């Protein structure tokens, strides 16, 4: 799999749109099932031929690319989303350094893939419950934990919590892909113009 900045920006877009859904469901109890399905399917892609293929094609990353455009251009910047993304990048570093946790997640993905194939819907509540439970049993045990703020009414609902956890697992998967493709924190500090240019190419 190639590792150009255009590939890395797709991985970041995948993370961004998954985390936007985390924020949306935590605040409103509602999510976009298409974006959720894209996120969950990305977790199941182990040997995809390209970065775009991880997400079912570049067109599926439009929402994430637009979010990144706002973040890197300073227009309609979502600071809460940026903080959540930073927390996910931090926990991904811990995850990648914990072989037992990686193995546990890998083992848990296979039955989820079978479940998605049987149900025909990666955003099905049963699938989200399974992926959410996998996150709770593995990545959620690492420190520092990713803390999600939102409406207490919705955050008290098991289905909402399961979906948030499932999306966080997908976000960590995208963060790992970004790092494997050569992404690092210096990009955000010193190469924002290059990142923005890559986003604009992705949106064309």
- pLDDT tens digits, the chain, 204 residues: what are they? 546 899 999 999 999 999 999 999 999 999 999 999 999 999 999 889 999 999 999 999 999 999 999 999 988 888 899 999 999 999 999 999 999 999 999 999 999 999 999 999 999 999 999 999 999 999 999 998 999 999 999 999 999 999 999 999 999 999 999 999 999 988 887 888 999 999 999 998
Domain boundaries in the chain?
A: 5-203
Query: 79-131 pLDDT, tens per residue?
Result: 899 999 999 999 999 999 999 999 999 999 999 999 999 999 999 999 999 99
Number of other CB atoms surrounding residue 21 within 10 Å: 25
Q: Which pLDDT score, from 0 to 100, does residue 72 have?
A: 92
CATH number of 5-203: 1.10.3890.10
Q: Which pLDDT score, from 0 to 100, does residue 187 have?
A: 86
Q: Which pLDDT score, from 0 to 100, does residue 47 have?
A: 84
CA distance linking residue 9 with residue 51, whole number of Å = 10
Non-local (6+) Cβ contacts of 57 within 8 A are none
Q: Which pLDDT score, from 0 to 100, does residue 81 have?
A: 94
Question: Angle at the Cα of 193 (from 190 to 196), degrees rounded to 5?
Answer: 125
Question: Angle at the Cα of 128 (from 123 to 132), degrees rounded to 5?
Answer: 150
Q: Which pLDDT score, from 0 to 100, does residue 3 have?
A: 66
Kindly report the average pLDDT of the chain as a whole number. Answer: 95
Q: Which pLDDT score, from 0 to 100, does residue 17 have?
A: 98
Q: Which pLDDT score, from 0 to 100, does residue 2 have?
A: 46
CA distance linking residue 60 with residue 38, whole number of Å = 7
CA distance linking residue 37 with residue 137, whole number of Å = 21
């Amino acid at each position: 799999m190639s590792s150009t900045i255009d590939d890395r920006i797709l991985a970041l877009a995948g993370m961004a749109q998954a985390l936007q859904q985390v924020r949306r469901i935590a605040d409103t109890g509602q999510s976009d099932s298409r974006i959720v399905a894209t996120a969950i399917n990305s977790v199941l892609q182990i040997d995809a031929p390209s970065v775009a293929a991880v997400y079912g094609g570049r067109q599926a990353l439009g929402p994430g690319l637009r979010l990144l455009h706002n973040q890197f251009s300073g227009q309609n910047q979502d600071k809460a989303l940026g903080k959540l993304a930073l927390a996910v990048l931090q926990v991904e570093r811990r995850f990648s350094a914990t072989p037992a946790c990686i193995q546990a997640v890998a083992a848990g993905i296979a039955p989820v893939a079978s479940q998605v194939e049987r149900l025909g819907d990666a955003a099905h509540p049963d699938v989200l419950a399974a992926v959410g439970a996998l996150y709770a049993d593995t990545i959620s045990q690492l420190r520092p934990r990713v803390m999600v703020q939102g409406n207490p009414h919705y955050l008290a609902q098991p289905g909402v919590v399961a979906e948030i956890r499932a999306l966080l697992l997908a976000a960590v998967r995208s963060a790992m892909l970004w790092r494997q493709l050569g992404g690092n924190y210096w990009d955000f500090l010193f190469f924002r113009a290059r990142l923005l240019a890559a986003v604009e190419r992705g949106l064309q």
